[in-house]
């Protein structure tokens, strides 16, 4: 069993829209980039895990191999909602931890185009011939818009408004400030889908999608890929000085699912499993929130980011509104959050997101983030959540030197 696992190579495509490429093109670009960054090739990989929500059932990992190298190793095709990419990383990590491989490649990719509203009931209702109760709720029709909403902007709006109902000093303006920050951060990231700053007034005045989330407070759909090469601690010792110097330690890798809570009957609870994952990750890594130099967290909507400040213990209980009001999560604040621009502006090609977050954190820890570098970053945390739910938290640390 390996005592430690390290990231020795990482890469991501610019997020955006690539109508002239296919999913395998995007995955290949990120995979070859990460292998090159690590100074290695597919021939050395002992395991391959590929995360892609929309094509996980279509042998995407094997199709990728046919473009970058077929060697007969174990391939895992991974899907776990918006935690898909992080789960792929964790799959390769587990193979290394188990001693089955010394080196592994994890790739996250998605090609969504302009998908619009996401959720199980985002399509038009059809005209019924005769009502027949069906399914586990005995429903006679799709109930989206009749019994509330299950679409993502509304679900995460309701999650944020529940936090607002319990804590003072949280409202539309605090949620909007999150998006103001992430759009501002994205102007420094050439890999972000959008790189345009908006004033708080512009964010609040944009088209309302699901109050309090305006269009500028919702992540876009898009295309992109990211990859990491993972390496066991023992193997790392045999690699060159430059690889070792740039290696980033995976100090914690945690995946949780929903424990039972009473309100599950209304909608998934995105907070409890995030709190559990964070607590386990801090324990495993032996670090606390105060030690973090940067955090990439799952801001699918501005309302989500705000509640995750508390879920990840970046602020005091009930203090998320105050935290954003005093600019705590800005890049020059107490704990920089989503200096990449976050999902809101960097983009959210679903399968790629959980790997791209690790790319971002690792790049800062290596001191290679260019204009957006957080100076002297030593410890960072990456968080994703897939509704339903799956939550992954990784803590990364710079190699001691």
Partner 1 sequence: MVPATASKRIPVVDYLVIEGEPHLEANACVACGALYFDRRNACARCGKLEFTRKTLATTGSLRSYTIIHRAAPNVPVPYVSSVIELDGGGVVKANLVAAGTDPEKIELGMKVALTTFPCGHDEEGTEAVAFGFVPA
In the bound complex, what is the minimum distance in angstroms from residue 124's beta carbon to partner 1? 4
19/128 with CB nearer partner 1 = 128
Task: State CA 348 to chain mean position distance.
Answer: 8
Q: Which of 22, 25, 100, 162 lies at the binding interface for partner 1 (CB under 8 A)? A: 162
Residue 52, classified by CB atoms within 10 Å of its CB into exposed (0-12), middle (13-18) or buried (19+), is buried
In the bound complex, what is the minimum distance in angstroms from residue 303's beta carbon to partner 1? 9
Distances (CA, A) of 252 to 106, 289, 290, 336: 16, 13, 16, 20
Give yes or no for residue 329 binding partner 1 (CB under 8 A). Answer: no
Q: Which of 113, 145, 288, 370 lies at the binding interface for partner 1 (CB under 8 A)? A: 145
> Site map for partner 1, 238-277, x if CB under 8 A?
----------------------x-xxxxxx----------
Per the CB < 8 A criterion, the answer to whether 45 and 68 are in contact is no
Q: Report the site for partner 1 in 56-85 (rule: CB under 8 A).
A: none
> Site map for partner 1, 9-48, x if CB under 8 A?
----------------------------------------
End-to-end CA, the chain: 25
Enumerate residues 6+ apart whose C-beta is below 8 A from 77.
50, 52, 56, 57, 59, 60, 61, 62
Q: Of the listed 185, 298, 348, 383, which one is catalytic?
A: 348
Give yes or no for residue 390 binding partner 1 (CB under 8 A). Answer: no
Q: Which of 165, 242, 376, 400 lies at the binding interface for partner 1 (CB under 8 A)? A: 165
Q: Which of 19, 137, 240, 332 lies at the binding interface for partner 1 (CB under 8 A)? A: 137
Name which of 384, 392, 381, 383 is nearest 288 in CA terms: 381
Q: Which of 19, 72, 128, 240 lies at the binding interface for partner 1 (CB under 8 A)? A: 128
Q: Of the listed 82, 231, 300, 315, which one is catalytic?
A: 82
Enumerate residues 6+ apart whose C-beta is below 8 A from 212.
157, 160, 161, 171, 172, 175, 176, 302, 303
Give yes or no for residue 284 binding partner 1 (CB under 8 A). Answer: no
Total residues contacting partner 1 (rule CB under 8 A)?
51
Integer Cα distance of 219 and 347 in angstroms: 6
Reported in sequence order, the residue ranges of 80-197 that DSSP labels E, i.e. its strands, are 103-111
Please list, residue by residue across 185-220, b when 16 or more beta carbons sit within 10 angstroms of its beta carbon and e when fewer do: bbbbbebbbbbeebeeebbbebeebbebbbebbbbb
Tokens (6 digits) for 249: 């330690």
Q: Which of 32, 74, 121, 284 lies at the binding interface for partner 1 (CB under 8 A)? A: 121
Q: Which of 67, 158, 195, 280 lies at the binding interface for partner 1 (CB under 8 A)? A: 158
Q: Which stretch binds partner 1 (CB under 8 A): 5-13, 45-53, 91-99, 206-214?
A: 206-214
**Residue 348 annotated as catalytic:** yes
Distances (CA, A) of 185 to 92, 303, 341, 373, 397: 31, 18, 5, 11, 22
Give yes or no for residue 138 binding partner 1 (CB under 8 A). Answer: yes
Q: Which stretch binds partner 1 (CB under 8 A): 36-44, 98-106, 164-172, 176-184?
A: 164-172
In the bound complex, what is the minimum distance in angstroms from residue 203's beta carbon to partner 1? 15
DSSP 315: S
Distances (CA, A) of 159 to 137, 164, 209, 220, 305: 23, 9, 15, 19, 11
**Residue 183 annotated as catalytic:** no
In the bound complex, what is the minimum distance in angstroms from residue 322's beta carbon to partner 1? 19
Give yes or no for residue 401 binding partner 1 (CB under 8 A). Answer: no
**Which residues make up the interface to partner 1 (CB under 8 A)?**
117, 121-125, 127-131, 133, 136-141, 143-151, 153-154, 157-159, 161-162, 164-165, 172, 207-213, 260, 262-267
User: Mind telling me the catalytic residues?
Assistant: 82, 348
């Amino acid at each position: 069993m390996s005592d430690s696992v390290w990231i020795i190579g990482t890469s991501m495509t610019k997020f955006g829209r690539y109508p002239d490429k296919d999913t395998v093109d995007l995955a290949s670009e990120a995979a070859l980039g990460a292998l090159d960054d690590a100074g290695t090739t597919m021939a050395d990989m002992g395991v391959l895990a590929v995360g892609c929500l929309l094509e996980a059932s279509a042998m995407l990992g094997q199709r990728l191999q046919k473009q970058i190298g077929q060697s007969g190793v174990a391939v895992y095709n991974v899907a776990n909602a918006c935690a898909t990419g992080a789960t792929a990383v964790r799959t390769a990590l587990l193979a290394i931890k188990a001693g089955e491989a010394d080196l592994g490649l994890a790739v996250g990719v998605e090609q969504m185009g302009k998908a619009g509203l996401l959720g199980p009931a985002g399509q038009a209702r059809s005209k019924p011939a005769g009502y027949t109760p069906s399914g586990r709720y005995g429903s006679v029709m799709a109930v989206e818009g009749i019994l509330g909403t299950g679409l993502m902007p509304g679900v995460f709006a309701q999650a944020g408004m529940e936090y607002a109902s319990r804590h003072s000093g949280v409202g539309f303006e605090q949620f909007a400030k999150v998006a103001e920050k992430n759009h501002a951060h994205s102007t420094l990231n050439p890999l972000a889908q959008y790189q345009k700053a908006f004033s708080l007034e512009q964010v609040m005045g944009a088209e309302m999608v699901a109050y309090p989330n305006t269009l500028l407070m919702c992540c876009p759909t898009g295309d992109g890929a990211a990859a990491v090469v993972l390496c066991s601690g023992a193997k790392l010792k045999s690699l060159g000085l430059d690889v070792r110097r740039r290696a980033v330690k995976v100090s914690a890798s945690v995946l949780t699912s929903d424990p039972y809570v009473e309100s599950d009957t209304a909608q998934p609870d995105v907070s409890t499993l995030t709190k559990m994952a964070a607590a386990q990750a801090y324990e495993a890594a032996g670090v606390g929130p105060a030690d973090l130099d940067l955090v990439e967290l799952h801001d699918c909507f501005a309302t989500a980011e705000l509640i995750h400040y508390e879920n990840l213990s970046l602020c005091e209980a009930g203090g998320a509104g105050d935290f954003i009001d005093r600019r705590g999560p800005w890049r020059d604040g107490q704990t920089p959050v989503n200096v990449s621009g976050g999902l809101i502006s960097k983009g959210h090609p679903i399968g790629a997101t959980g790997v791209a977050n690790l790319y971002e954190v690792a790049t800062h820890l290596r001191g290679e983030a260019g204009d957006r570098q957080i100076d002297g970053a030593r410890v960072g945390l990456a968080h994703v959540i897939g509704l339903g739910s799956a939550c992954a938290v990784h803590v990364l640390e710079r190699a001691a030197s």
